[in-house]
Structure 1
């Protein structure tokens, strides 16, 4: 546990609350996340279908069994981000945030895959909290950060791994309100044109590594405007249990950190996570309106990568930093640029041809919502991507400034 007391904060009370939380929460590191429930346990057709519908993914590799059987994979796949439906690693440690006047927000999520997810694969996930630390942002405002590690297994064999950072920030009752965006005729006309002319997924046309170049840009994908239906569909896609009435009440009794008093009804056993879907209570989560959960935003970035790379490629790693919420009514434009191109070997000596694709998501106000980096393995003429990947990677020629510790 660390707490940076050298930085002067403009809010001593908030500083004290964060320091107290970090001291009191020291017990959570090294334990399984108490507030993250398991979701689905198999990449069944219905589970995968719910996931791709929630993200608007039209790639037939994830939607059409017959198409998948005729692909290089010989089966329908699930999108890489489907592991989030197995277990979403956005733990805030089960801490009593309401008592400290804090709200939690997923800030960074990183996942690395060793293999594809095939139709019918049995999957399990495990989330362990690795730390709780105190910090100050660039403006001197204090916040705490819960870090966790997640592992996903298939038949008991590692399939993917990752880490997550959830920031706990003081609730600001005087935060400036942001009204729901209203689109004028020009914006509507532009967005309709973008949707109608959007480039389809690359699909079965291989994107060869030798044909890519640093600085190359990909298509623009438009998502939204975000509707309540999309927020609700994600609840089911994410795979977490949705309990009614008495069952939910009993479940929350074991998670005191999730319970707060509903500010509208004064019901004392209310799940603060529901604020992300409820316009009357969104302010309790520090939001101006209902908003997309971090897992949905991460999945949209993953969709951009798979849309760009084609069926023959492999998404090795994705890191997404969420810089602001995507709230009800917002649109999201995703763009990508190749920023690096290299070869690397895994621990079995297999060579992989990789590119780094920087993916950015901006809303209709031209504000950055997502800043992501994807590592994609591409095929070469006469050389397919070899899976599964054996352990970590080392760039050919040794580590470079872009890859100081391997990939």
Structure 2
């Protein structure tokens, strides 16, 4: 492993926090442009494939023509690609590390093919925490509304949050990953890999077969979903569909760094490079206190919704989803997602089920927790 450089990074200061707090509740008038403006066939498919989702309702127009929608629609988590704010592009505290840590989504309508998405956003809250990862941290929460740009209809709304942490303190004093950083890299046997791959072989997309509300029971388990083993290739595959926050090349990278100097952190060649490289640059990930190059937070949230959309079928509608990221998933980890139906209820004329989700790595360490509310078709019509 390369020797980690011990440079000093900008810190959280009272002045920086005071300046940032003045933005609470103020509509953000101008943000960096999103990766996707429209839910085109290709944009939808690229996002779906970025999380390993091959549901034909998102990916196969010929199949989708036979559904109630008459064409492909966007998977719910695709909206991450239409707003940099919801995905973790934070303002204030320049140069202070931001870790995307969770989201709370509500969807109002399916996103049809070729919908142009317009967003409105504002800083919702700042809360100070004492964390195992880096000691003092600031939870920075944004609210984003998503609209059909042509009709004006609200498609969805969401809160998402990042934890702003002092990189130096995380590396030098953080205790959460002390043991993980000391471990030798995990090398899997073929037998171990096959034990995970069996979940891929058994993965079921409910599709056109309706899952009726009356046929669901409280306590019912969803099929376990596997993601991984984690590779840098997989992290980049997600970035291809999602767009990343700071990934720019050549002149565009230079322009970003001129506007936001804190976004250009020098690499081992002395070249300013983006902070997002913690997801593929092992050396830099260790510098900021992480256990190694690791997955994206919105990616993890999208995995949880993937489990639910597979289970609910074409006639279900994902109304709400919550996800809290609890640790990094470094290269080499495998994630197993389990879900359980915890409640059945009727509300506003809809037949709903609530699902609790828990994601753990191969060693049983908690990776994320989440929940979902799904509207299912009823035999009553």
User: What is the TM-score normalised by the length of structure 2?
Assistant: 0.87
Corresponding position of 1:239: 243
Corresponding position of 1:396: none
Q: Flag the 1:139–1:237 CA change in 2: closer, same or farther, 3 A.
A: closer
Q: Look up the SS of the partner of 2:28 in the other structure.
A: coil
1:256 aligns with 2:253: no
Q: Indicate which of 360, 375, 378 corresponds to 1:377.
A: 375
Mapped contact 1:19–1:134 kept (Cα < 8 A): no
Corresponding position of 1:368: 366
1:161: how far off? Answer: 0.4
Corresponding position of 1:194: 199
Q: Look up the SS of the partner of 1:117 in the other structure.
A: coil
Question: Partners in 1 of 2:375 and 2:332 — Cα distance?
Answer: 35
Corresponding position of 1:146: 140
Q: Look up the SS of the partner of 2:171 in the other structure.
A: coil
Q: Which runs of 5+ in 2 are unaligned?
A: 1-10
Q: Indicate which of 60, 68, 72 corresponds to 1:76.
A: 72
Deviations 1:147-176 (A, max 9, x none): 100111112221100101111123322352
Question: Partners in 2 of 1:242 and 1:261 — Cα distance?
Answer: 15
Q: Look up the SS of the partner of 2:22 in the other structure.
A: helix
Q: Flag the 1:244–1:139 CA change in 2: closer, same or farther, 3 A.
A: closer
Q: Flag the 1:95–1:265 CA change in 2: closer, same or farther, 3 A.
A: farther
Question: Partners in 1 of 2:281 and 2:336 — Cα distance?
Answer: 25
1:25 aligns with 2:20: yes
Corresponding position of 1:5: none
1:185: how far off? Answer: 4.3
Question: Partners in 2 of 1:189 and 1:66 — Cα distance?
Answer: 33
Moved more, 79-88 or 33-42: 33-42
Mapped contact 1:225–1:329 kept (Cα < 8 A): yes
Structure 1 ranges of 4+ moved more than 6 A: none
Mapped contact 1:103–1:284 kept (Cα < 8 A): no
Deviations 1:220-240 (A, max 9, x none): 111111122211121121135
Q: Indicate which of 104, 107, 113 corresponds to 2:107.
A: 113
User: How much is the aligned-residue C-alpha RMSD, in angstroms?
Assistant: 2.4
Q: Indicate which of 337, 341, 347 corresponds to 2:340.
A: 337
Question: Partners in 2 of 1:170 and 1:243 — Cα distance?
Answer: 24
1:284: how far off? Answer: 3.5
Q: Indicate which of 194, 216, 220 corresponds to 2:220.
A: 216
Q: Look up the SS of the partner of 1:317 in the other structure.
A: strand
Corresponding position of 2:37: 41
1:19: how far off? Answer: 4.3
Deviations 1:270-309 (A, max 9, x none): 3212222212311244322211111111111111110111
1:201: how far off? Answer: 0.6
- In the alignment of these two chains, the number of paired residues is 358
Q: Flag the 1:239–1:173 CA change in 2: closer, same or farther, 3 A.
A: closer
1:21: how far off? Answer: 3.8
Question: Partners in 2 of 1:331 and 1:248 — Cα distance?
Answer: 33
1:265: how far off? Answer: 2.6
Corresponding position of 2:5: none
Q: Flag the 1:281–1:82 CA change in 2: closer, same or farther, 3 A.
A: same
Corresponding position of 1:323: 326
Question: Partners in 2 of 1:52 and 1:201 — Cα distance?
Answer: 13
Question: Partners in 1 of 2:277 and 2:240 — Cα distance?
Answer: 14
Q: Look up the SS of the partner of 1:192 in the other structure.
A: helix
Question: Partners in 1 of 2:165 and 2:185 — Cα distance?
Answer: 23
1:166 aligns with 2:162: yes
Question: Partners in 2 of 1:343 and 1:34 — Cα distance?
Answer: 40
Q: Flag the 1:295–1:33 CA change in 2: closer, same or farther, 3 A.
A: farther
1:314 aligns with 2:334: no
Q: Flag the 1:184–1:222 CA change in 2: closer, same or farther, 3 A.
A: same
Question: Partners in 1 of 2:314 and 2:265 — Cα distance?
Answer: 45
1:134 aligns with 2:139: no
User: What is the TM-score normalised by the length of structure 1?
Assistant: 0.82
Question: Partners in 2 of 1:31 and 1:124 — Cα distance?
Answer: 14
Mapped contact 1:87–1:126 kept (Cα < 8 A): no
